[in-house]
Each structure stands twice: as structure tokens, then as C-alpha cells.
Structure 1
Amino acid sequence: MKKIFFALSLVVIFTSCTSQTKLGNPEVNPAEIQRKFMDWWTYQYNEIMLSRDFVALDSNSKEITKEAFLKVLSEGNYIPIRLESDKDVFYYKLFKIEPTSDTSIKASIAETAFNEIQNYKKEGEPFPEFSFKDLNDNLITNENLKGKIVVVKCWYIHCAACVKEFPDVNQLASKYKDRKDIVFLSLAEDSPEQLKPFLIRKPLSYAVVPNMKTYMNLTLQLNAFPTHFIINKKGFIVKVLSDYKALEVALVKVSEE
């Protein structure tokens, strides 16, 4: 009887150990990446997507909520680094900002995290009521978009980052062109007179709604551009994202639900 119990215990221990995710070292050296602002900025831009879903770890590798993680970052004393993992999951850990690090890094992280907190708090809320006309004079309202997943890009002509991602978001829209239940909509600050010649030079595959500055600033309370919303078929905000890479990942998940 004791032998059987011992054998079962080994099986349980082995199973529980193998089911755990093995976390490795930081992807980059936390001290080295802080020495030059451009090194940090490049790493953050290419590898850290605070808009997306990730497992948040404090400086002692204890799991915490995403909101708590972002709050710590907004205080400007830590940087986020992704850990190597044996699973296709993002694990971000907090590392202390070194006294010798570039001072611009601290300000950059704090600003980014503050904006991400505001975006994260919008998730789960109903998207504010709207009644827009796009550049083709099509009426777009909450009512006529019911039952559809709506992807919203908020931007303006003189936002370099907004325009730079046009080819990528156009490709994303093309990927879902056969999905009649997914709508791509963009809200722009600029007037029709400004947008029409601009979009001839820089095409955007979304329906474009002009004169949205007041709505985006006051109703949506946006602090940074571009900002992307994914709204579910019931009209609730599922994700608020700051770049197309995070948008692409999130849309795959939402479109399969």
C-alpha cells in the first residue's frame, strides 16, 4: 500500500512540475539597456507592448495585476523587461532604474505607463455613443454597428507615428476583408479639405471620419496618438492599444471568440 502511495506521489509531483512554465533570464541585460536612451527606446518599441495581455511580475518575480504593474512604471523608478519563457506567453518583470541610466528613460517610461493606465481603465466600458459621417457621407452610429466587431484608429495628419503605420493597418484590414462582421473605422482630427488630398498620397483602408478632435479629446479622453480601440459586438471596449503590433495580436483573439 505504501509503495502505491509513493508511486502516485511521484506522478503528482512530476506532473505539477512539468506543467509549470519555466522562466528564463531577462531578454536583455537590465543594466546595459539603460545606459543609452536610444538602446532602451529601440528595445521598448520592438519588444515591450504594454497594451497587450501579459503576465506582470514585480521585482521579486511575484505575479501582480497589470494595473499594479503599470502604476509602478508610471512612478518612474522601474523599467519593464521581458523574460525568456518556454511558452508563447509574455512575461514582463520590473527592474530598478539604475542611478547611472539616461535620465530620459525615466521620463519616457513614466509617460508611456501613465497613458497605458488610462487606456486599460477604458476596457470593459461601453464605447461612447456616436453618430458620424465619413468622408463618403456614410452615416455611422452605434445602432448600425451593432452585431459587428469595430476596430477604431484615432489619429491626425501631423502625427508621424500615426501615418507611419498606415501600410501595416491597411494590411490588417485586407486580412479581414472577407469578414462582414468586422468594420475598420478611423477618427481623424483634421477637416475634409485637409484629409482628402492627404489620403490620395497616403491611402488608408479604413472609413475615415473627419473633425473628430473634440470627440477624441473630451469624450474618449485620449492623451496619445495613435490609439486603437477594439469594440465587441455588444458595443463594449475590449482593448485599447497604442500600436498596430499589439492591435494585430488582440484582433486575432477577439475575432475568434
Structure 2
Amino acid sequence: MKRLIFILAGLFFIRLAFAQVPGIRLTDESVVKDTSGKVLTLAERKEIMARGRYVLRVEKPGSPNSTIIIRELSEADSERRMAANTYKPQASGFFVTGRKPSSFSARDLQGNKYKLKDLEGKVVVLNFWFINCGPCRKEIPELNKIVEEYKDSSNIVFLAIALDEQDEVKSFAEKMPFNYQLIANGRYITQNYGINIYPTHAVLDKEGKVLFHTSGFGPTTGMWLRKTIEEAVR
């Protein structure tokens, strides 16, 4: 089912890519260049289009038989464009967009201390989870990809607050790496926010205000986390 959702989302995105250039007429005889100016063979063009991550534009709008420029998108660019044109996950009932959540103080598995109010000036990405939560485990590979994409940014902090005991979280992380900073024994934090649905996500801007929050793991959750982080770091 998930595979079908992504296929449909991909087809929807391809349709949107064409919609960005209304009136374009692309045939096998059309002259198509990449962004470096290289004229692509029909086979090269079809190979790019088959991957489904591209946008087209006319080099000289209004000119008949104008060259068409094709730009291939990275996977991250593709996801951001899809996020801009697909549904936004429903907000959780545990945070209020535009408001600062109450602060908390906790240490990660390495003993580093985090106080939420002291993280203002940075973008904070929060994840609330527990080990035996199936959707929580299922989303970890996607969350790890997001952390990897922003590994060179010192202005983004990823914190995953688990309900489980520290030894349990350590043991779990050895078997299934989770690249957020892991905080165990976080039940007092989730109780403070009233969280009772897992996973729950929240992204805070540099002023400490909530930009995005949702519960559960859906096909667009990762896209909207990326989109919100991008907005917050600007």
C-alpha cells in the first residue's frame, strides 16, 4: 500500500512539473538541453524523464520551436516540491503553532544536558517515541536520512525523547541506530505536553516557537519535516 502511495505521489508530481510550463509542447523532435547547455539525445532525455524528478522550461518563451531546458532534481528537491503541493499532515493536539512550548531539561545518552529554552537561536526538531511503537520504529530510517542531510549545520538540534529506560534505549540503539540525540526516561516530558499518540513530531524555529507539529507517521511526514526545517533555517 505504501509503495502505491509513493507511486501515485510521484505521478502527481510529474503532472505538476508539466503544469509549471503551460503551453509547452514536447515531442521526439524537440531540441532539449540540460542546464549546462548540452543538447540531449532522445535516449538521454527519456532516461532523465523516466526517473520522474525534473522540471522543464522554455529557453525563449514566445518563440516558436524554442529550445526546452530540462533540469533534473535531487531527491531532496523533489520531496520539497512534492511537500509544497501535497497535503500537510494534521496538526497534533499537543502543541500550538506559533507558540513556545514549556521548557524541559534532560540529558541524552552521552550525558549532554539540554534545556529547551536555552536552545533558542537554533532550530529544534523534536520526536516523541517509545521502543515498542511500530510506527516509531518504521520512521527511524527516514528520520536518519534527514539528520544526515543536515549533519554539517550546527544550528539544528534533533532530540528524540523516549518513554523507555536508559539501558533499554541504549540496547535498542545498538541494534537499530537512531541518529537523533536520544533522551531516555522522557515520560515526564510527554506528560507535561499531554502527548498520548506516538510518534509525535514538532519543529521549533530559532525563537523557540512551534512551526510544525503532527502525530503519527504518514507518507508526507518526512517531506514536511524537511520543508519546515528549510523554512526555519533561512
> TM-score range with shorter-chain normalisation?
0.5 to 0.7
Which residue does the alignment assign to 1:209? 183
Give the length in aligned residue pairs: 161
**AA matched with 1:90:** N
Q: Do the aligned residues in 1 keep the contact of 2:130 with 2:163 (CA within 8 Å)?
A: yes
**AA matched with 1:254:** A
1:118 Cα deviation after fit: 1.9
| 2:227 counterpart of 1:254 | no
1:91-240 alignment, distance < 5 Å: 116=91, 118=93, 122-216=96-190, 218-240=191-213
1:241 Cα deviation after fit: 2.9
* Shift in CA distance, 117/163, structure 1 to aligned 2, threshold 3 Å: closer
Q: Structure 1 length normalisation: TM-score?
A: 0.55
Consecutive unaligned residues of structure 1, counting only runs of 5 or more, are 1-37, 48-81, 93-111
Match of 1:90 among 69, 77, 85: 85
The two structures, once aligned, show a CA RMSD in angstroms of: 3.0
1:181 Cα deviation after fit: 0.7
* Shift in CA distance, 126/143, structure 1 to aligned 2, threshold 3 Å: closer
Consecutive unaligned residues of structure 2, counting only runs of 5 or more, are 21-80, 216-220
Question: Runs in 1 of length 4+ with deviation above 3 angstroms?
Answer: 84-89
State the SS of the aligned residue for 2:93. Answer: helix
1:205 Cα deviation after fit: 0.8
1:91 Cα deviation after fit: 6.5
* Shift in CA distance, 173/194, structure 1 to aligned 2, threshold 3 Å: same
Where relative contact order (Cα < 8 A, 6+ residues apart) is larger, the structure is: 2
**AA matched with 2:204:** I
Q: Do the aligned residues in 1 keep the contact of 2:129 with 2:198 (CA within 8 Å)?
A: yes
**AA matched with 2:161:** L
State the SS of the aligned residue for 1:197. Answer: helix
Q: Distance in 2 between matches of 1:165 and 1:177?
A: 18
Q: Do the aligned residues in 2 keep the contact of 1:150 with 1:230 (CA within 8 Å)?
A: yes
Q: Deviations over 1:165-204 (max 9, x none)?
A: 1111111111111111111111000000211111100111
1:249 Cα deviation after fit: 2.5
**AA matched with 2:125:** V
Q: Do the aligned residues in 2 keep the contact of 1:241 with 1:247 (CA within 8 Å)?
A: no
Q: Deviations over 1:119-148 (max 9, x none)?
A: 5x6111102111111111111003431211
Match of 2:222 among 230, 240, 244: 244
1:158 Cα deviation after fit: 0.5
Q: Do the aligned residues in 1 keep the contact of 2:123 with 2:204 (CA within 8 Å)?
A: yes
State the SS of the aligned residue for 2:124. Answer: strand
The alignment-based identity, stated in percent, is 27
* Shift in CA distance, 227/205, structure 1 to aligned 2, threshold 3 Å: same
State the SS of the aligned residue for 2:137. Answer: helix
Q: Distance in 1 between matches of 2:152 and 2:116?
A: 22
1:246 Cα deviation after fit: 2.3
